[in-house]
């Protein structure tokens, strides 16, 4: 089904990674919300979500609720467990209680620095859903994978395993982030991103059903900037972006969120 017919609301998501403490997050969110307001940003057309570190979430929740900002937010990771003897883990129940709408699972930095497997990413996605959160499931190939297996084999495999235990019809978001494009300044081509996104949508259809696949937003991530966002958003299967570095520069993130104002989109 075509993008417009499927009515997938574009999602521009900012992954702050390990940046901004809770005090900095308050000033940042205020400035971001005001900048979007000044630009007459239409939240009914595009959703803007932020993903601060865990310790910022309470401050961000309180600020957004008190000032009625239309930004949504989520966490950067979740435990596969809901409670128990799991030192250092954060439960999906706690994130839900903080009004998080989303949680990122399987980011390549978790996979590489914390050795997270596809199975664990699947358990985390299930934990998110069981607690009323929407998992943003990240997949992507390394430069070596790209050379030896092409762009799509690894992301398809990662998503297929991650969805094995997810109930059909669940609301999820998928982020295709080629590892070599993250923080490198070298984004994938829109054509490559579109090809992989199309195949990922087929995986969702086979695991969760075709209605779910049509409704699921697939994001591209990896060196997204205001200068290249429009070229990704023109693609049929790309419904938004997961932005790292550029999400920490307010003017730049606002320009990315306003991609519909760029020529030709």
List the catalytic residues: 107, 177
Where do the H-state alpha helices sit in 84-167? Answer: 92-97, 108-113, 118-130, 143-149, 153-162
Structure-block tokens of residue 113: 């620095």
What span, in angstroms and rounded, lies between the C-alpha atoms of 77 and 250? 23
240 binds ligand 13P (CB under 6 A): no
Nearer to ligand 13P, 52 or 221 (CB): 221
76 binds ligand 13P (CB under 6 A): no
Contact 211/172 with Cβ under 8 angstroms?
no
Q: Which of 36, 222, 232, 255 binds ligand 13P (CB under 6 A)?
A: 222
DSSP structure string for 169-216: T---EEEE--GGGTTTS-PPPHHHHHHHHHHHHHHHHHHH-HHHHHH-
Question: How far apart, in Å, are the Cα atoms of 147 and each of 112, 143, 150?
Answer: 18, 6, 6
242 binds ligand 13P (CB under 6 A): yes
Nearer to ligand 13P, 106 or 122 (CB): 106
Residues 130-169 interacting with ligand 13P (rule: CB under 6 A) = none
Nearer to ligand 13P, 212 or 256 (CB): 256
Provide the minimum distance between the beta carbon of 1 and ligand 13P in the complex, in angstroms, as a whole number: 27
Tell me the window of 20-28, 78-86, 152-160, 237-245 that interacts with ligand 13P (CB under 6 A).
Answer: 237-245
Structure-block tokens of residue 118: 């596809």
Reference 90, options 138, 49, 56; nearest CA is 56
Provide the minimum distance between the beta carbon of 84 and ligand 13P in the complex, in angstroms, as a whole number: 29
Cβ neighbours of 7 (radius 10 Å): 9
129 binds ligand 13P (CB under 6 A): no
Q: Which of 11, 15, 125, 254 binds ligand 13P (CB under 6 A)?
A: 15
H-run or E-run covering 14: strand 11-15
245 binds ligand 13P (CB under 6 A): yes
Phi, psi for residue 91 in degrees, rounded to 5:
-80, 145
Nearer to ligand 13P, 167 or 183 (CB): 183
25 binds ligand 13P (CB under 6 A): no
193 binds ligand 13P (CB under 6 A): no
Count of residues binding ligand 13P (CB under 6 A)? 14
Which residues are near ligand 13P by CB under 6 A?
A: 15, 107, 177, 182-183, 221-224, 242-246
């Amino acid at each position: 089904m075509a993008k417009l017919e499927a009515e997938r609301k574009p999602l521009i998501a900012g992954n702050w990674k390990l940046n901004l403490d809770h005090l900095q997050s308050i000033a940042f969110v205020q400035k971001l919300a005001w900048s979007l307001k000044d630009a007459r940003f239409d939240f009914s057309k595009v959703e803007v979500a932020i993903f601060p570190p865990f310790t910022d979430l309470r401050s961000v929740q309180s600020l957004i609720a008190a000032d009625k900002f239309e930004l949504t937010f989520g966490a950067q990771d979740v435990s596969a467990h809901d409670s128990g003897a799991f030192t250092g883990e954060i439960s999906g129940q706690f994130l839900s209680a903080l009004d998080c709408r989303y949680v990122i699972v399987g980011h390549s930095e978790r996979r590489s620095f914390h050795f997270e497997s596809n199975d664990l990413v699947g358990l985390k996605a299930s934990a998110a859903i069981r607690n009323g959160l929407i998992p943003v499931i990240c997949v992507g190939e390394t430069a070596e994978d790209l050379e030896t297996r092409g762009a799509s084999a690894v992301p398809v495999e990662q998503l297929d395993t991650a969805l094995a235990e997810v109930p059909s019809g669940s609301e999820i978001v998928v982020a295709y982030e080629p590892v070599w494009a993250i923080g490198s300044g070298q984004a994938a081509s829109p054509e490559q991103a579109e090809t992989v996104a199309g195949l990922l949508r087929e995986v969702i259809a086979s695991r969760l059903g075709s209605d779910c696949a049509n409704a699921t937003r697939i994001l591209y991530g990896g060196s997204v900037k205001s200068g290249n966002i429009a070229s990704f958003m023109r693609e049929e299967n790309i419904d938004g972006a997961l932005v790292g570095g550029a999400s920490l520069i307010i003017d730049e993130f606002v320009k990315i969120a306003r991609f519909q104002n760029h020529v030709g989109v």
